[in-house]
Structure 1
Amino acid sequence: MLEVLTDTDYEMFRKVIYDESGITFSDTNRSILDSRIKEILRNNNIATPQEYYAIITKNPEEMKKMLDSVTTNLTRFFRNQPHFDAFIHYVIPKVIEFKKASGDRNIKIWSAGCSTGEEPYTIAMIMKEICPPGFTFHITASDISLKSLMVAQQGFYSEARVEGVPPNYLAKYFTKVDGGYQIKEDVKKTIHFDYHNLKNDSGARNLDVIFCRNVLIYFDEPAQLTVVNHFYDSMSEHSFLYIGHSESLFGMNTKFEFLKTDWACLYGKNIK
């Protein structure tokens, strides 16, 4: 039984993962890659890492499955409440102000790296509460993990997973069912879930708000810059970008402006 990837095996997988997705594995998180590859070999009765490498490099679908398996997905509803406080009290009022000036009445939001859906559903519930009459909104939610997207599309969460959802939101936007809670259909229909590799341009344009929180940490600086520049190109003339509270664009050559609100720090495009 394989105990650990050799240095040669590790470098082989580390490189192909980086080339395909921009996700970086280093000495500090090598154990994660080791354990995920060993689990894949065991579950699929594959004898050696070299045999598995040959499979993924010849079959794009197997490559997607491998990237899915090595991606860590950790999230929850209303994660980092100050971000959502800024969203409610500053970002969306500003977006509405910009929209009124342009005559556009549709607010477009992207949850990039949405994992199992808690973030986009949180955004959708908030927007249903604060979106003013005469305005509409649409959320695109994407991830590189197909398994996570399937959970997100289903919209079912155990009781433990809905901890942190305010009681009034839970009553209004979920249905209590055996074993947990189901997101209501009128919330689900505001979100389009889609597979997307952030290494590539999504093709989306005129987005008003992008959430990409706790994702950039998996990329090295060149890959981060590529992702951030893709975001900039996809956003509307006046728009906002959220990244994780432990992440920063400081020192990166981007066009985004740093923004400090009364609730949280974020970034903007032509907002000053």
Structure 2
Amino acid sequence: MADLLSDIQFNEFRKLIYDASGITFSETNRSILDSRLKERLREKNLTDPQEYYRLITSDKEEFKVFLDSITTNLTRFFRNQPHFDALINYVIPHVIEDKKQTIGDFKIRIWSAGCSTGEEPYTLAMLLKDKLPAPYTFEIIASDISLKSLMTAQKGFYPDSRISGIPQNYLASYFTRVEGGYQIKPELMKTIRFDYHNLRFDMGARNFDIVFCRNVLIYFDEAAQKITIDNFWKSMARHSYLFIGHSESLFGMDTKFEFLKTPWACLYQKNEK
């Protein structure tokens, strides 16, 4: 089957996408861009890719919809359990110990970057609700470049097919059974603030104790990865922890983060004097 885009058009689209989001399209995943673009052309009753290119370069809202369509949003609750084991058994105790040095600071601040449809931040919230000792509390900011995914996350409704992996006691405590699936209870939903954010730019928020950004860097080239990691460094507290995907690594990158191997999982830490 012939490609929808000529080589020149493909380069135009992928440069536009890269400049805006850091997401890289190469010949190996060109077919994904091709299929998503066909969907948008049908939706807008267009046949010429160049006409759609002109549209997204002049219409910011349509460009956001287009970025939504090309973003891969594969996620699930309790994905990669060893990360959560490391969080509860190693990271949280160390964060609490560090906070004892600051009088009156009992809040643990977490950023779930590239949160997709919300399974990761809700998993974090359930664990912290269950495991975090008094008087400590937490707040989670969850961000993504996909508005469609964020809308799903904010609703907090998940069909039966999406709740596999959730322990039964958590399902009973934090979800309400409704027609067609499960609704997350308000007490858990209010611990998370969902926000649109492009990881190529500084979020502006500071002093995160923990950042989760898993299976996002793999879509970036080295330059975009470096920008993202530097932005994380700026956003994090002096002593803090970074989780990335198990297939991702900061090896070979010029970064101040230190590699940390725990009995449960590997992650990275910021230790600033």
2:47 pairs with 1:43: no
Paired position in structure 1 for 2:175: 174
Tell me the equivalent position of 1:152.
153
Quote the residue 1:183 is aligned against: 184
Aligned residue runs from structure 1 range 236-247, under 5 A: 236-247=237-248
Q: Provide the TM-score with structure 1 as the length reference.
A: 0.98
- Listed one character per residue, the Cα deviations across residues 59-118 of structure 1 (whole Å, up to 9, x for unaligned) are 211211111111110000000000000001001111111111122111100000000000
1:228 alignment partner in structure 2: 229
Alpha-carbon contact 1:23-1:218 (below 8 Å) kept: yes
Residue 25 of structure 2 corresponds to residue 25 of structure 1: yes
> Structure 1, residues 8-28: CA drift from partner, whole Å, max 9, x if none?
111111000001111101111
Find the residue that maps to 2:234 and give its secondary structure.
helix
The answer to whether the aligner puts 1:65 opposite 2:65 as a matched pair is yes
Unaligned stretches of 5+ in structure 2? none
Deviations 1:215-262 (A, max 9, x none): 000100000000000000000010000000000000000000000000
Q: Which residue of 2 aligns with 1:255?
A: 256
Q: Report the secondary structure of 2:237's partner residue.
A: strand
Runs of 4+ off more than 2 Å: none
Q: Distance in 2 between matches of 1:101 and 1:271?
A: 15
Report SS of the residue matched to 2:100. helix
Is 1:239–1:271's contact at 8 Å kept on the other side of the alignment? no
Q: Quote the RMSD (CA, aligned, Å).
A: 1.4
What is the TM-score of this pair, normalised by structure 2? Answer: 0.97
| 1:108 pairs with 2:109 | yes
Specify the code of the residue in structure 1 equivalent to 2:256: K
The match for 1:205 is: 206
Q: Which runs of 5+ in 1 are unaligned?
A: none
Amino acid in the other structure paired with 2:219: Y
Q: How far apart, CA to CA, are the structure 2 residues paired with 1:256 and 1:19?
A: 26
Distance in 1 (alpha carbons) for counterparts of 2:25 and 2:95 = 37
How far residue 4 of structure 1 moved from its aligned partner, in angstroms, is 2.1
Deviations 1:123-172 (A, max 9, x none): 00001011111111100000000000000000000111000000110011
The count of corresponding residues between Structure 1 and Structure 2 is 272
Alignment partner, residue 85 of structure 1: 85
- How many angstroms apart in 1 are the aligned matches of 2:233 and 2:208? 9
Q: Which amino acid aligns with 2:152?
A: V
Describe the superposition over 1:22-68 as per-residue Cα deviations: whole angstroms up to 9, x where unpaired. 11011111110010001110121012111111011112112111111
Whole-angstrom CA distance in 2 between matches of 1:229 and 1:204: 14
SS of structure 2 residue aligned to 1:102: coil
Q: Tell me the secondary structure at the aligned position of residue 183 of structure 2.
A: strand
Q: Contact between 1:213 and 1:243, CA under 8 Å: does it hold in 2?
A: yes
Shift of 1:185: 0.4
Tell me the amino acid that sits aligned with residue 161 of structure 1.
R
